[in-house]
């Protein structure tokens, strides 16, 4: 979990209520964050990954003020129109297609506030933005920019600027090889013919996302009174949420938020949108989960929400609230876990480990013995990962009300998830030999929900010597341990190299598939090493055991 350092004096004065250090420690812990240390200089806390709005002083103060009753309820932010725009060119569609932008004016920045802005940006990059692979944040002194701004992709050899912290101009390729930040994050642009740039109306480069800002137009100082903020990446909804977290922090520093027009090739949108999101909440549902009646309105207002007639208004910076269960969790935090009365269950049962879990544990032990590493990924995915990047066109189960395009469907195969893991570890040492046991989903009219959930085993071998034969050896070792034999039947599958893909048969039943990943798929995932995989339905396999 990310650790953030907050200024002791700023927090104490900002909460608006006199608390002793012991009382402050207690309130911080009750809020749902882990307090590491508290001194007269700083307060160091561990923030859970689902609360990125707490990664800087003023967001933390905002939550704490509400929690201790100083300023309860929904905090609203006003947004004025700047009349300024950003033009997004079609050229960025293949490198970093989206951006969300805003301007904040009237800031009175100090060195401490700038440190907090930098900390927020860095912590968001590492956690919420997945080391800039999902999104990148740029903050610039607006006074040095001539609008409108253009977001475009250009040949990196033809665009030069002085990167932040340097004194000499470099082109895009030189920054990746010569500048420390370029070396750290250059892999995010590796293989791209064009790099993304933000350029103002004078032709001055603001930044080359997701790498670095310009020294000329991208350095915020104590003389900066207004800032331009951009978030760039691959999911527009995610970028809008990310922008909201940052600008609400700056507004709490005393700034005034101004919107911008974003002119995409096929549409025009305005960001930011700070309107609260409404979510229905059934009081009976809350009582059932918590086991007792609580004052829902009071609890929600202490957590910064508004509640009336079964509807919760969620502030725009609370990007972690996706389901009524998240609301119930906040109600429990506000009520205080120490205030719940423990009860013994009225039913006495004797627990026993499920047969499938014993089977699963045995398989894990065998694979670890073969020097494979276990990984865990999400059961939700999207059309791009499941189909487009895998080179296939299968129907998947998509969500009707997805909050994010990245998590918009249930996965029907575990193989794409494992390919993502290999992609994220492409710079690490080879060979990489991993396995996962997790859920996949299929449409099934016989199920009450119309969806069947199966437990599958996936294995992926990546390295210069990994191939179909090595993958088959692992399967045969597993089956031999359960006194089962294996038969292979060659098939055609666009995800795999022709002639190196087949059905896995045990007792005449198909239990899975094995193959070497097609080079086109490897390119889609930016992998330079061969990959051999197999996927086995553990329920079907277990049914073959005597």
Note the pTM of the prediction, 2 decimals: 0.75
- Domains present along the chain, CATH in parentheses: 3-67 (3.30.56.10), 79-271 (3.50.40.10), 277-337 (3.30.56.10), 355-542 (3.30.930.10)
How do 79-88 and 256-263 pair as beta strands?
parallel
According to the per-residue pLDDT averaged within each range, which of 379-393, 400-414, 459-473 is highest?
459-473
Phi, psi of 30 (to 5 degrees): -70, -25
pLDDT for 407 equals 84
Length of the chain: 546
Task: Give the rounded distance of the alpha carbon of 118 from its chain centre.
Answer: 20
| Cβ atoms < 10 Å from Cβ of 171 | 16
The percentage of residues in the chain with a pLDDT greater than 70, rounded to a whole number, is 100
The pLDDT of 172-197, averaged and rounded, is 93
* 240-243 CB contacts, 8 Å cutoff, 24+ apart: 240/100, 240/271, 240/272, 240/273, 241/316, 241/319, 242/100, 242/124, 242/128, 242/129, 242/135, 242/137, 242/319, 243/100, 243/101, 243/102, 243/271, 243/272
The answer to whether 510 and 503 are in contact (CB under 8 A) is: yes
Average pLDDT rounded to a whole number, residues 95-119: 95
Give the mean model confidence (pLDDT) for residues 70-97. Answer: 95
- pLDDT tens by residue, 234-293: 999 999 999 999 999 999 999 999 999 999 999 999 999 999 999 999 999 999 999 888
Q: List residues bridging with 154 in a β-sheet.
A: 195
User: What is the pLDDT, as a whole number, of residue 110?
Assistant: 95
Give the DSSP letter of residue 49: T
- Binned at pLDDT 50, 70 and 90, residue 109 comes out as very high
Mean pLDDT of 300-315: 95
Q: Tell me: pLDDT of 528 over 70.
A: yes
Closest by CA position to 137, among listed 55, 225, 47: 55
Q: What is the mean pLDDT of residues 227-233?
A: 97
Contact between residue 52 and residue 125 where contact means Cβ atoms under 8 Å apart: no
Torsions phi, psi for 523 (to 5 deg): -65, -40
Q: Are 504 and 169 in contact (CB under 8 A)?
A: no
Residue found by looking up tokens 């104590």 in the block? 222
Q: How far apart are CA 129 and CA 238, in angstroms?
A: 9
Q: Which residue bears the tokens 């990746």?
A: 176
Residues 205, 197: contact at Cβ < 8 Å? yes
Q: Is 499 exposed, middle or buried (0-12, 13-18, 19+ CB in 10 A)?
A: exposed
| Alpha carbon of residue 277 to chain centroid | 20
Task: Average the pLDDT over each of 60-69, 367-376, 390-399, 469-478 and give the range with the smallest value.
Answer: 390-399
Both tokens of 151, joined, read 């977001």
CA atoms within 13 A on the CB side of 478: 32
Distance between CA atoms of residues 538 and 454, nearest Å: 8
Q: Which residue has the tokens 């086995």?
A: 536
Q: What is the mean pLDDT of residues 180-208?
A: 94
pLDDT category at 461 given cuts 50, 70, 90 is very high
Which is nearest to 172 in space by CA: 133, 149, 205?
A: 205
- Over residues 149-177, the pLDDT tens digits come to 999 999 999 999 999 999 999 999 999 99
Segment holding 326, helix H or strand E? helix 324-335
Sign of CA dihedral 514, 520, 524, 529: positive
The tokens of 544 are what? 């073959």
pLDDT score for 546: 66
Average pLDDT for the chain? 92
pLDDT of residue 346: 80
């Amino acid at each position: 979990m990310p650790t953030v350092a907050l200024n002791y004096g700023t927090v104490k004065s900002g909460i608006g209520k006199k608390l002793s250090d012991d009382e402050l420690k207690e309130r911080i812990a009750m809020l749902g964050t882990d307090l590491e240390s508290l001194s007269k200089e700083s307060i160091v806390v561990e923030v859970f990954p689902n609360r990125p709005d707490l990664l800087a002083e003023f967001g933390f103060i905002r939550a704490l003020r509400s929690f201790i009753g100083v300023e309860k309820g929904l905090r609203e932010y006003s947004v004025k129109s700047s009349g300024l725009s950003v033009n997004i060119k079609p050229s960025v569609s293949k490198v970093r297609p989206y951006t969300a932008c805003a301007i904040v004016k009237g800031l009175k920045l100090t060195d401490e506030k700038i440190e907090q802005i930098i900390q927020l940006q860095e912590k968001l990059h590492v956690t919420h933005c997945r080391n800039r692979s999902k999104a990148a944040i740029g903050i610039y002194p607006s006074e040095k920019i001539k609008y409108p701004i253009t977001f475009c992709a250009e040949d990196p050899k033809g665009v030069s600027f002085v990167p932040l912290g340097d004194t000499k101009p470099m082109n895009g390729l030189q920054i990746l090889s010569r500048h420390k930040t370029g070396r750290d994050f250059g892999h995010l642009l590796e293989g791209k013919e064009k790099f993304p740039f933000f350029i103002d109306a004078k032709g001055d480069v603001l930044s080359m996302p997701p790498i670095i800002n310009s020294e000329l137009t991208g350095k915020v100082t104590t003389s900066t009174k207004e800032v331009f903020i951009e978030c760039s990446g691959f999911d527009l909804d995610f970028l809008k949420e990310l922008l909201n977290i940052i600008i609400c922090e700056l507004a709490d520093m005393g700034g005034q938020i101004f919107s911008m027009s974003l002119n995409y090739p096929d549409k025009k949108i305005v960001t930011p949108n700070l309107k609260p999101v409404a979510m229905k909440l059934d009081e009976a549902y809350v009582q059932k989960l918590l086991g007792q009646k609580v004052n829902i309105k009071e609890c929600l207002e202490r957590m910064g929400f508004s509640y009336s007639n079964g509807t919760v208004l969620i502030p725009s910076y609370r990007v972690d609230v996706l389901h009524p269960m998240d609301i119930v969790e906040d109600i429990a935090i506000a009520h205080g876990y120490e205030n719940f009365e423990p009860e013994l269950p009225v039913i006495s049962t004797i627990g026993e480990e499920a047969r499938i879990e014993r089977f699963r544990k045995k398989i894990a032990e065998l694979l670890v013995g073969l020097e494979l590493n276990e990984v865990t990924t999400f059961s939700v995915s999207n059309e791009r990962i499941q189909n487009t990047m895998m080179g296939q066109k299968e129907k998947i189960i998509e969500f009707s009300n997805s909050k994010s395009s990245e998590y918009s469907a249930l996965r029907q195969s575990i193989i794409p998830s494992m390919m993502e893991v290999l992609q994220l570890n492409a710079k690490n040492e080879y060979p990489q030999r991993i396995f996962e046991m997790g859920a996949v989903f299929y449409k099934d009219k016989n199920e009450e929900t119309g969806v069947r959930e199966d437990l599958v085993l996936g294995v992926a071998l990546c390295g210069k010597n990994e191939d179909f034969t090595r993958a088959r050896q692992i399967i045969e070792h597993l089956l031999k341990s359960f006194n089962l034999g294996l038969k292979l039947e060659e098939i055609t599958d666009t995800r795999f190299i022709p002639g190196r893909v087949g059905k896995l048969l045990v007792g005449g039943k198909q239990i899975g598939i094995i193959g070497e990943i097609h080079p086109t798929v490897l390119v889609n995932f930016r992998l330079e090493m061969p990959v051999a995989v197999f996927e086995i339905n553990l329920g079907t396999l277990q049914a073959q055991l005597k």
